[in-house]
């Protein structure tokens, strides 16, 4: 509303008569003010339709009634989308919806645009432009994926009325629709902030904003400021008006007392007469200049020469183009004649190639048949030789068969030994694998225990270093960056960056009445020990910026925003009531009530008891009804006790509120020594176990290799036995029958060899004929390709010449237009010269009435300084006219430049006419 400040002031009276909100839940006016024309006639939302908005493809149209409307549905069904679309569809920004930072966030994924259509009721005497829009105003918004949007305002019939944002703003002002008013439209974030806020100032700000009192206050301040500025301007103008009146009186008095007014009038008459003859002289000079220009342009034959030169170039290029075209046609005819030979040779190549392949197939079939017959003959000869060898005796008198049987029996004995060795090796491998697995498990356990001890050792080392660093500065207990951060806060507060100085960390701002309860308090407050307090959100933003500088990585301390108060809250009736055990609020003290109030708001320390013993804590909280207003308790060891559950503390010593640093350091040193001794012992044991594992792995690998070698040997022995048994089972063929079969096969082999030789001869003949035909075909093909290349080159040259010819043709047309324009210019200048000569003659006749000779002009103008100045000005104007005439004229521009002359002379003739009238009156 602040952007329409002027409209708010001017329309204040009209707005009072039409307080109708545009919320989705319109209210009925009171019975005393309700009229048929104003009740629900304007500004009510009739329907809304969404398309590709947020995560919904299509929602609506949703029809709304005239009274209260409720929208119900499951999560994700689109309830919040409707409210968000209503804000955006009425012209609201994306940040107002608390649903996105930019409009492009509302476009559905994988879609380019989103559409919103909102229809508002527009009835009754207070309707907005009833003649244009009718009974309903349709507001259509289209949002693109790049963040832009367009708005179209349509009538009830769908006619486009406007697409300007100012029109939509006028509609919202007329209907009193306030998008930023939480009473009209209350989103989830605003409702959470209103309900969770316990600050009365925030509620008062909400009231001021909802009732528009805040806007009225800003308007009132603006009006007062404008009134003051206006009054100051009026006072200054009054003072300057007095000075102007005084100066006017002085000038008037001086004018009335001037003695030479009559003389100046006489000089003025003479100057007017002189000016008339000066104008005549200028016209004479202009006419002479025009004559010179006409003669110069008439004698200029440059355009005709250029036109003849261009025509000769066009003729030459056309001859070259015709010559190249004839050569291209000759090559085309030659190429067509070669194409017939090419087709004939191509068919011949196919026929010869087919015959060659058929003969090649016959040859290879005969050759393969010959090779198969030779292999059969060789196998038959081997069988004959083998049968002869088996029947022969060796030196010991044994046959080959007896020797094979002895070898088989020896290999079977060797196979039995190898098969008995295999199970033993398998059992040995299994035992060694189990031992190796146990060794690896033991090593992993040692490594895990060593890693756990190392992690604990590192945490204790960090804790020791942290405590050593906090000896000189207790603030370092809350982090190494805290001292520098507090320095930056102090510097920022000194420079006015904060409205009120932030307080923190909270753990550094509190102290304990009983140091023995430090662990219990730390377990109760937890992360609040390192938190900071800010008075307002502006200070919170400034503190966040400082924290980003000091905490570039890792988690930053928490920031709590609560209004600073000089007094501790009144907790009467809310505090835990127990006569024996104190609350956390009772055992801590702080110099500033801000810290106590913050812990009361965020942690509720007034309702948490501290009970040192575990058993008593369980008895008080769990075995009976807990004390009044008590919701939990903590023991001295940091255990957290509820009425139905019990949690043990995560750490055993206080980190921030502990007082005896030396004792904690000595305990940490002793723990670190124990951890170092354990790590050394684990390392030695781990080294020994690793050596044993490596030895077992080597033995296991050797056993596996031995087993593999045994299996390979078993397979080899089995193969040898099978081969020998197969050879022994073969029958001894009859040598004579085998030799007869071999003798019968020899003539058949000779016949096949002869057929192969003849097929080879025919194949060579077909190959030579095919090569001859292919060489002729390729020669013709090369000639055709060469002609094609030459023809393409000539075509390119022909295209270049055609382009050059077209270029010269265009130049020829331009030169013809220039020649015609030149002739038109000369004709126009001649006509202008005739008009100027006629005007000069008329000026001579008119000026003669003044009674002053043209020859007396230099004497009349010589003694008057004003006349000299006038002559100098006229001379400068004449030079400007000459400069304008000296510029080259384009086609159509020369006539315009000539027509401008008479208008200037006509304007200059006006003083001469007035001079003639003065002369007649004096005469």
**pLDDT at site 531:** 92
Q: What is the spatial distance between Cα 641 and Cα 648, in angstroms, rounded to a whole number? A: 9
Give the lowest-confidence range in 300-304, 309-313, 816-820. 300-304
Indicate the DSSP class of residue 95.
Answer: G
Listed in sequence order, the residues at least 6 apart from 430 whose beta carbon sits closer than 8 Å to its beta carbon are: none
Indicate the DSSP class of residue 503.
Answer: B
Give ∠ CA 841-844-847 in degrees, rounded to 5.
145
- pLDDT category of residue 14 using cuts at 50, 70 and 90: very low
Give ∠ CA 835-841-845 in degrees, rounded to 5.
140
Cα 808 to Cα 134, 302, 814, distances in angstroms: 66, 18, 10
Average pLDDT over residues 331-345: 79
Q: Residue 352 pairs with which residues in a beta bridge? A: none
Give the lowest-confidence range in 243-247, 419-423, 500-504, 659-663. 659-663
Identify whether the C-beta of residue 156 lies closer than 8 Å to the C-beta of residue 136.
yes
Indicate whether 634 pLDDT > 90.
yes
Average pLDDT over residues 895-906: 35
**pLDDT at site 390:** 58
- pLDDT category of residue 728 using cuts at 50, 70 and 90: low
Q: What is the spatial distance between Cα 134 and Cα 138, in angstroms, rounded to a whole number? A: 10
Q: What is the spatial distance between Cα 689 and Cα 700, in angstroms, rounded to a whole number? A: 16
Region class of 651: left (phi > 0), else alpha (psi between -120 and 50), else beta: beta
Dump pLDDT digits (tens) for 155-205.
Answer: 988 889 988 888 988 998 888 888 777 777 777 777 777 777 667 777 787
Average pLDDT over residues 734-752: 76
Write down the residue that tokens 């009335």 correspond to.
256
Percent of the chain with pLDDT over 90: 8
DSSP string, 781-832: HHHHHHHHHHHHHHHHHHHHHHHHHHHHHHHHHHHHHHHHHHHHHHHHHHHH
- Residue 365, number of CB atoms within 10 A of its CB: 12
**pLDDT at site 819:** 80
Average pLDDT over residues 334-361: 81
Percent of the chain with pLDDT over 70: 80
Smallest CA-to-CA distance from 682 within 436, 438, 462, 444 is with 444
Give ∠ CA 485-488-490 in degrees, rounded to 5.
110
Give the lowest-confidence range in 9-13, 210-214, 559-563. 9-13
DSSP string, 59-80: EEEEE--SS-------TTSSHH
According to DSSP, the β-strands at 588-589 and 608-610 are: unpaired
Q: What is the spatial distance between Cα 828 and Cα 834, in angstroms, rounded to a whole number? A: 10
**pLDDT at site 763:** 81
Q: Which H helix or E strand runs over 142?
A: strand 136-144
Q: 118 φ, ψ to 5°?
A: -120, 130
**pLDDT at site 893:** 36
DSSP string, 267-306: HHHHHHHHHHHHHHHHHHHHHHHHHHHHHHHHT--HHHHH
Average pLDDT over residues 259-277: 76
Q: In the chain, what is the straight-line distance between the N-terminal and C-terminal CA atoms, in Å?
A: 76
**pLDDT at site 694:** 87
Smallest CA-to-CA distance from 51 within 148, 121, 136, 143 is with 143
Indicate whether 793 pLDDT > 50.
yes
DSSP reduced 3-state for 116: strand
- Residue 76, number of CB atoms within 10 A of its CB: 10
Cα 110 to Cα 56, 59, 143, 920, distances in angstroms: 12, 18, 14, 90
Indicate whether 896 pLDDT > 80.
no
Dump pLDDT digits (tens) for 665-721.
Answer: 667 677 777 777 777 887 888 888 888 888 888 888 888 888 888 888 888 888 877
Structure tokens, 515: 């140091």
Structure tokens, 577: 């009531």
- pLDDT category of residue 139 using cuts at 50, 70 and 90: very high
Chain-centroid distance of CA 527 in Å reads 38
Indicate whether 614 pLDDT > 80.
yes
Identify whether the C-beta of residue 405 lies closer than 8 Å to the C-beta of residue 729.
no
- pLDDT category of residue 904 using cuts at 50, 70 and 90: very low
Average pLDDT over residues 65-77: 83
Average pLDDT over residues 845-859: 52
- pLDDT category of residue 50 using cuts at 50, 70 and 90: very high
Average pLDDT over residues 144-162: 89
Indicate whether 489 pLDDT > 50.
yes
Instruction: For 249-384, list the strands marked E by DSSP.
Output: none
Q: What is the spatial distance between Cα 791 and Cα 270, in angstroms, rounded to a whole number? A: 89
Structure tokens, 50: 């969404």
Average pLDDT over residues 575-586: 87
Identify whether the C-beta of residue 451 lies closer than 8 Å to the C-beta of residue 670.
no
Burial (CB count <10 Å: 0-12, 13-18, 19+), residue 363:
buried
Any idea how long the chain is? 923
Burial (CB count <10 Å: 0-12, 13-18, 19+), residue 660:
exposed
Indicate whether 326 pLDDT > 50.
yes
| Greatest Cα-to-Cα distance within the chain, rounded to the nearest angstrom | 181
- pLDDT category of residue 878 using cuts at 50, 70 and 90: very low
Smallest CA-to-CA distance from 15 within 212, 222, 227 is with 212
DSSP reduced 3-state for 141: strand
Indicate whether 108 pLDDT > 80.
yes
**pLDDT at site 868:** 43
Smallest CA-to-CA distance from 787 within 330, 377, 449, 246 is with 330
**pLDDT at site 454:** 83
Pick the residue with more confidence: 14 or 132?
132
Identify whether the C-beta of residue 332 lies closer than 8 Å to the C-beta of residue 718.
no
Give the lowest-confidence range in 240-254, 519-533, 603-617, 896-910. 896-910
Highest mean pLDDT among 25-34, 522-531, 906-915: 522-531
Average pLDDT over residues 461-484: 71
Q: Residue 559 pairs with which residues in a beta bridge? A: 532
Smallest CA-to-CA distance from 732 within 406, 379, 400, 391 is with 391
Q: What is the spatial distance between Cα 282 and Cα 57, in angstroms, rounded to a whole number? A: 81
Indicate whether 735 pLDDT > 90.
no
Cα 728 to Cα 414, 557, 725, 735, 736, distances in angstroms: 20, 95, 5, 18, 21
- Residue 801, number of CB atoms within 10 A of its CB: 20
**pLDDT at site 43:** 83
Burial (CB count <10 Å: 0-12, 13-18, 19+), residue 785:
exposed
Indicate whether 2 pLDDT > 70.
no
Indicate whether 464 pLDDT > 60.
yes
Indicate whether 219 pLDDT > 80.
yes
- pLDDT category of residue 391 using cuts at 50, 70 and 90: low
Structure tokens, 590: 């702080």
Indicate whether 573 pLDDT > 60.
yes
Average pLDDT, the chain: 76
Indicate whether 871 pLDDT > 50.
no
Identify whether the C-beta of residue 630 lies closer than 8 Å to the C-beta of residue 624.
no
Cα 793 to Cα 328, 395, 558, 790, 800, distances in angstroms: 10, 93, 82, 5, 11
**What pTM, to 2 d.p., does this model score?**
0.32
- pLDDT category of residue 93 using cuts at 50, 70 and 90: confident
């Amino acid at each position: 509303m602040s952007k329409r400040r002027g409209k708010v002031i001017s329309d204040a009276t009209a707005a009072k008569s039409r307080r109708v909100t545009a919320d989705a839940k319109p209210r009925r006016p009171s019975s005393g003010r309700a009229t048929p024309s104003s009740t629900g006639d304007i500004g009510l939302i009739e329907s809304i339709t969404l398309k590709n908005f947020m995560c919904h493809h299509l929602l609506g149209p949703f029809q709304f009634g005239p009274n209260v409307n409720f929208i119900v549905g499951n999560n994700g069904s689109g309830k919040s989308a409707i409210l968000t679309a209503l804000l955006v569809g009425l012209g609201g920004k994306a940040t107002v919806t608390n649903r996105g930072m930019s409009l492009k966030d509302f476009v559905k994924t994988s879609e380019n645009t989103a559409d919103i259509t909102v229809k508002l009721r527009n009835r009754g005497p207070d309707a907005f432009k009833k003649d244009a829009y009718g009974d309903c105003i349709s507001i259509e918004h289209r949002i693109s994926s790049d963040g832009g949007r367009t708005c179209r305002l349509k009538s009830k019939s769908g006619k486009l009325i406007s697409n300007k944002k100012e029109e939509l703003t006028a509609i919202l002002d007329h209907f009193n629709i306030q998008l930023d008013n939480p009473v009209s439209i209350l989103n989830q974030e605003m409702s959470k902030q209103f309900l969770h806020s316990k600050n009365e100032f925030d509620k008062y700000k909400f009231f001021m904003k909802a009732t528009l009192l805040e806007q009225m206050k800003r308007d009132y301040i603006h009006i007062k400021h404008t009134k003051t500025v206006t009054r100051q301007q009026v006072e200054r103008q009054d003072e300057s008006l007095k000075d102007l009146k005084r100066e006017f009186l002085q000038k008037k008095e001086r004018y009335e007392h001037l003695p030479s007014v009559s003389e100046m009038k006489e000089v003025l008459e003479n100057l007017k007469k002189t000016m008339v003859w000066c104008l005549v002289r200028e016209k004479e000079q202009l006419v002479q200049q025009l004559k010179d220009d006409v003669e110069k342009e008439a004698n200029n034959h440059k355009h005709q020469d250029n036109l003849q030169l261009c025509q000769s170039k066009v003729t030459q290029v056309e001859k070259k183009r015709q010559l190249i075209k004839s050569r291209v046609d000759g090559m085309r005819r030659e190429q067509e004649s070669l194409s017939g030979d090419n087709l004939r040779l191509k068919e011949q190549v196919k026929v010869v190639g087919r015959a060659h392949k058929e003969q090649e197939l016959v040859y290879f079939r005969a050759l393969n048949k010959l090779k198969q017959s030779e292999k059969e003959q060789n196998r038959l000869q081997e069988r004959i030789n083998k049968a002869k060898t088996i029947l022969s005796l060796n030196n010991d008198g044994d046959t080959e068969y007896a020797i094979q049987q002895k070898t088989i029996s020896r290999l079977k004995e060797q196979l039995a030994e190898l098969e008995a060795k295999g199970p033993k090796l398998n059992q040995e491998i299994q035992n060694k694998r189990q031992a190796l697995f146990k060794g690896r498990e033991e090593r992993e356990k040692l490594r895990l225990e060593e890693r756990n001890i190392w992690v604990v050792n590192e945490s204790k080392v960090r804790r020791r270093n942290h405590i050593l660093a906090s000896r000189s500065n207790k603030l370092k207990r809350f982090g190494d960056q805290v001292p520098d951060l507090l320095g930056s806060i102090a510097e920022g507060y000194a420079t006015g960056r904060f409205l009120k100085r932030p307080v923190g960390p909270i753990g550094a701002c509190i102290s304990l009445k009983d140091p023995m309860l430090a662990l219990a308090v730390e377990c109760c407050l937890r992360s609040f020990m390192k938190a900071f307090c800010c008075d307002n959100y502006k200070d919170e933003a400034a503190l966040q910026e400082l924290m980003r500088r000091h905490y570039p990585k890792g988690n930053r301390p928490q920031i709590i925003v609560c209004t600073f108060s000089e007094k501790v809250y009144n907790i009467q009736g809310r505090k835990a009531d127990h006569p024996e055990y104190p609350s956390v609020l009772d055992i801590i003290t702080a110099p500033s009530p801000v810290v106590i109030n913050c812990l009361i708001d965020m942690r509720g320390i007034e309702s948490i008891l501290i009970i040192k013993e575990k058993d008593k804590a369980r008895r008080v909280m769990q075995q009976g009804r807990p004390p009044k207003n008590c919701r939990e308790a903590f023991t001295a060891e940091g255990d957290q006790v509820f009425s139905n559950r019990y949690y043990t503390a995560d750490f055993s010593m206080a980190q921030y509120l502990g007082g005896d640093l030396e004792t904690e350091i000595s305990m940490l040193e002793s723990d670190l020594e124990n951890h170092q001794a354990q790590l050394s012992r684990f390392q030695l044991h781990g080294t020994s176990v690793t050596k044993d594992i490596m030895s077992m792995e080597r033995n296991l690998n050797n056993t596996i290799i031995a087993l593999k070698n045994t299996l390979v040997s078993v397979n080899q022995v089995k193969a040898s036995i099978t081969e020998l048994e197969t050879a022994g089972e073969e029958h001894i063929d009859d040598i004579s029958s085998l030799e007869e079969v071999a003798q019968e096969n020899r003539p058949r082999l000779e016949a096949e060899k002869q057929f192969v030789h003849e097929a080879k001869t025919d194949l060579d003949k077909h190959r030579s004929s095919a090569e001859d035909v292919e060489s002729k075909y390729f020669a013709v093909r090369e000639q055709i390709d060469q002609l094609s290349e030459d023809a393409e080159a000539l075509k390119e040259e022909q295209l270049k010449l055609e382009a050059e010819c077209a270029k010269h043709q265009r130049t020829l047309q331009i030169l013809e237009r220039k020649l015609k324009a030149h002739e038109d210019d000369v004709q126009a200048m001649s006509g202008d010269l005739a008009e100027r000569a006629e005007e000069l003659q008329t000026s001579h006749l008119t000026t003669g009435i003044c009674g002053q000779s043209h020859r007396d002009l230099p004497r009349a103008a010589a003694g008057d300084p004003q006349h000299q100045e006038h002559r100098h000005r006229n001379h400068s104007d004449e030079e400007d006219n000459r400069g304008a005439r000296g510029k080259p004229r384009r086609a159509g521009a020369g006539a315009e430049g000539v027509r401008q002359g008479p208008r200037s002379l006509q304007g200059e003739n006006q003083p001469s006419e007035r001079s003639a009238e003065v002369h007649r009156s004096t005469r």
